[in-house]
Structure 1
């Protein structure tokens, strides 16, 4: 080793340590601030989102002895419960932290500590991946830490990585930016692309919601092949995807269910599609003489057909839209109230304006950064970033849940624009103008500006959404229900997971599409005339009826008709078959026992 290199290594290591500390310390400060702000919610286990509550229930059941292979919820739905479509993989880090904290904390405190710490740890992982991505794209040294300015302004990212947000969305986001990081790396591209495909297998195993991202990544590799017939990225990516998803399928799905396909979770038609697509792409990559562009387009179309054929042949259009065959009544009173499945024109103004601003920022990046970045040391990486972010942004206009990935994938573009803007603002001689310019740049060059504009248009927009966000904030203290003898309880749909989390009661239905028959039964009961609802209660084998006044879903049931059961209960006109339970006969939380 040359002498001068030997002297440089310690200094480089010291510099890297400082660079890492510059990332970790602000993250730590942010985590402590968020933790302090949310201390009451953490202490009372005030989980607002039904999916986060259900995820914790699933972890509890697993740690309580339920099999790794069994993700059935036995406290909702029919007598045998219903199978969740979630992957057990997401339960692993939660359970690991619970067991770790359980070594020196009481059981309840260990659980609260685990779900409070995990989401900030996910944010730290995301920061490191994005920082590494920026370094691959040419941001040098401390400049890569500009992610500390960009990520906190990505409202969807922050909203999914704060304490108690333990559902699978954050892990999907981490997988997506991990794939981007591997795709833009110029070193050992064969290995990196295989690893990217393997990470894609983890993404879709966590949830089939990741399939649109996989399709977008494949589209990027197809474009690269069209530009360079010798590029084997598509074949390598699909090979890694097929191998990884097959392996994860074997370790998460019990052998007895291998032959039973489901459109809402990775099963054998998806694995067959990945494998056929990989084989077709590999056959194309083995061609000796590059074909004409028109021939290459035709061959790439055959890869797409090979991948889609087993899924469409097995599931039909349900393979593309798993919610396509949902019951109309369930759709009206449940699915239509979920923001994340809506297109942009059906969103609330703040969310729609945020997406519109993201589109404007992307177009601005195209105009100001594309030519410059394609002339950098890593034009391939920047091309991948621009195309992949653009495709996911376009998809987010169709399904809002994709917007989380789109925001993260736009981070390099936002960082590039912010970096140039901050350099310009730093040249102002007047310190007031300098600070003001930097503040304006941080707001304008982030999706936050659009969200704020939308909220200004309709100040009370959030109150118009049916959902669960008001449950914890209402006057309904669900822990009081734990004092009643355990029984089967008819509740509004979105509150059911919180009831099961905080008490020993079971519920008639829970807000998941595999629980569709029970969902229809619960909705019909609440929206039917009171006398008809009494007969339905007997069929549902419910022992209690509970409502939390003021929650959006209860109001929507009552709006069905003036003589609906929900309307009667809100007006204190309960049918004779329901007897008020002492202690719950007044106030926001009302309970009746079925006679």
Structure 2
């Protein structure tokens, strides 16, 4: 039923992948259509990405990524890369003469996410054909769309870098499974270099696939050329991406981006890979010794040259972790999410464990190498979800070829059954499960610890974070004289996109001192909060009733934000009238009066 050989000359499947991409585009456009005109960007990072692109197109230097409308005049330090800005800016520049700037932006934030989506669909289909079976790619294609942690990063309006990071991981998988060893290593190395230049979120998983390549060299000496080109492409590619894309701030010895710290590690590691593979010893024990020695050299170099990078990567204070980072939803363990999210995130990896094990059992040496490498990386990613649930996207992506492999093994056995019921229902259930559709179908029936009554949910919807940032509800603030806005961390990027104002800070870890000050100010008693807000030179105070919980526990019944949310008034805050259904609270700071 399935052919195991993945012929590179077999072309028709690529046209079907294109059709799948078209269906994905059509479905997601239909679901997101109402939010396109209002630029209802999905989260804070998407909003800041658009603000950064606007600033660049308005003349901000290529290598200056500070956001000067946050924490003016010095600006907030942003550790990002220009790489995800390129397609957005390119589409805007291309279409502005035809459609005008506003409509060009709408098209850009709609189309840009489909570029990494196309890369992922073709990459995962290719990997699945090589690892599972030639005819198993449809399962993988559907699984990409059903793996919500993956597909949510490929939707229209999702313009931040997460989709690009997943695309680079999928290309590393392509290189790892490439039957042409030298080409595969080059693909891996360039994708790793690009991933590092975009951000460090995938560093663990690309390092694991790199280590799997080294293990393949140890136990399968034919992997020598893959390892050599991997090392050369990683070192050379990282250098090139650093020279082209490193911001002024990232040219310092910082630990959270491709800086001289990680560039040095990449160049040293790549050079060592080339060196130890140049004349590979025949004895696997010698190869093991060389690989271990290289690993120890890299670890020792990093520890002694950059000891400040051995602590928390973000470099944020303990207070910032307590007040802010530990409360970020996606940074919480998967065990603290709802049952529905827990099951959906872990379902594909659980099936893939069995699938990869079966592929190892029945495959030849090359398939064993691929299944072991991908399976090990997936297991680590799955385990790390119990630390931070945001790693579920990488786990699901790595799981897809294994889940497809399980389908490949099960179907012939089910099809051989004498029972029509087993053949029909068994194959159907196997398809629904291994494609990742099952948790989507039963998700609404799973208990959700965050689920509220219908009346409570309606009230939450009316004051939701999305509503607070809508074009309609931000219009009053946008039409006020340009000024400085004191607001919640997560509202700040939306203020930049929807209004001409500046903001006090935003949720970006290099500015952790300002983050702590923002939270403590909104939690403080009104007299103290007034002094702190006035010290920032703020003209306006903007609060979203749907975000009052972000100030944290402790003094809600006495703190400024909580009291304002309950209807309190203070004569140093002049309310600015908004419509009854507007979930925002908006005030102008006055220079006279005292709190009361």
TM range (shorter): 0.7 to 0.9
> Partner of 1:242 in structure 2?
235
> Partner of 2:299 in structure 1?
308
> Partner of 1:191 in structure 2?
183
Pairing partner for 1:581 from 564, 567, 576:
576
Distance 1:380 1:60, change over 3 A: same
Distance 1:550 1:386, change over 3 A: closer
Is 1:299 aligned with 2:294?
no
Q: Distance in 1 between matches of 2:331 and 2:343?
A: 17
> Partner of 2:98 in structure 1?
104
Distance 1:553 1:108, change over 3 A: farther
Is 1:215 aligned with 2:211?
no
Q: Distance in 2 between matches of 1:339 and 1:373?
A: 40
Structure 1 residue 159, shift from structure 2 partner: 0.8
Pairing partner for 2:536 from 537, 540, 544:
540
For structure 2, list consecutive stretches of 5 or more residues without a partner in the other structure.
1-7, 591-596
Q: Is the 2:252–2:259 contact (alpha carbons within 8 Å) kept by the matching residues of 1?
A: yes
Is 1:551 aligned with 2:547?
yes
Distance 1:502 1:460, change over 3 A: farther
Is 1:487 aligned with 2:480?
no
Which SS does the other structure have where 1:102 is aligned?
A: helix
Q: Is the 1:88–1:252 contact (alpha carbons within 8 Å) kept by the matching residues of 2?
A: yes
> Partner of 1:163 in structure 2?
156
> Partner of 1:402 in structure 2?
391
Q: Is the 2:239–2:263 contact (alpha carbons within 8 Å) kept by the matching residues of 1?
A: yes
Pairing partner for 1:265 from 246, 257, 271:
257
Pairing partner for 2:361 from 363, 368, 371:
371
Count of equivalent residues: 572
> Partner of 2:172 in structure 1?
179
Is 1:49 aligned with 2:43?
yes
Distance 1:257 1:539, change over 3 A: closer
Q: Distance in 2 between matches of 1:82 and 1:208?
A: 20
Distance 1:117 1:258, change over 3 A: closer
Q: Is the 2:142–2:435 contact (alpha carbons within 8 Å) kept by the matching residues of 1?
A: no
Residues 84-126 of structure 1: per-residue CA shift (max 9 Å, x gap)? 1000111001111222332421211111111112223322221
Q: Distance in 2 between matches of 1:265 and 1:315?
A: 14
Residues 219-251 of structure 1: per-residue CA shift (max 9 Å, x gap)? 202322331456434443232211111111111
Is 1:461 aligned with 2:453?
no
Q: Is the 2:573–2:588 contact (alpha carbons within 8 Å) kept by the matching residues of 1?
A: yes
The CA RMSD measured in Å over matched residues stands at 3.2
- Taking structure 1 as the reference length, the TM-score comes to 0.87
> Partner of 1:3 in structure 2?
none
Q: Distance in 2 between matches of 1:270 and 1:109?
A: 39
> Partner of 1:518 in structure 2?
514
> Partner of 2:217 in structure 1?
225
Q: Distance in 2 between matches of 1:508 and 1:350?
A: 36
Structure 1 residue 414, shift from structure 2 partner: 1.3
Bigger drift between 454-463 and 532-541 goes to 454-463
Q: Is the 2:407–2:431 contact (alpha carbons within 8 Å) kept by the matching residues of 1?
A: yes
Structure 1 residue 60, shift from structure 2 partner: 1.0
Structure 1 residue 584, shift from structure 2 partner: 6.9
Q: Distance in 2 between matches of 1:502 and 1:558?
A: 30
Q: Distance in 1 between matches of 2:356 and 2:185?
A: 26
Q: Is the 1:98–1:110 contact (alpha carbons within 8 Å) kept by the matching residues of 2?
A: yes
Q: Distance in 2 between matches of 1:514 and 1:213?
A: 24
Residues 458-482 of structure 1: per-residue CA shift (max 9 Å, x gap)? 4253789x9xx94114596223311
Which SS does the other structure have where 2:495 is aligned?
A: helix
> Partner of 1:274 in structure 2?
266
Pairing partner for 2:78 from 73, 84, 103:
84
Distance 1:77 1:56, change over 3 A: same
Q: Distance in 2 between matches of 1:458 and 1:164?
A: 29
> Partner of 2:128 in structure 1?
134
For structure 1, list consecutive stretches of 5 or more residues without a partner in the other structure.
1-11
Q: Is the 1:365–1:417 contact (alpha carbons within 8 Å) kept by the matching residues of 2?
A: yes
Q: Is the 1:534–1:575 contact (alpha carbons within 8 Å) kept by the matching residues of 2?
A: no
- Taking structure 2 as the reference length, the TM-score comes to 0.87
Q: Distance in 1 between matches of 2:51 and 2:369?
A: 45
Q: Distance in 1 between matches of 2:114 and 2:494?
A: 23
Distance 1:373 1:560, change over 3 A: farther
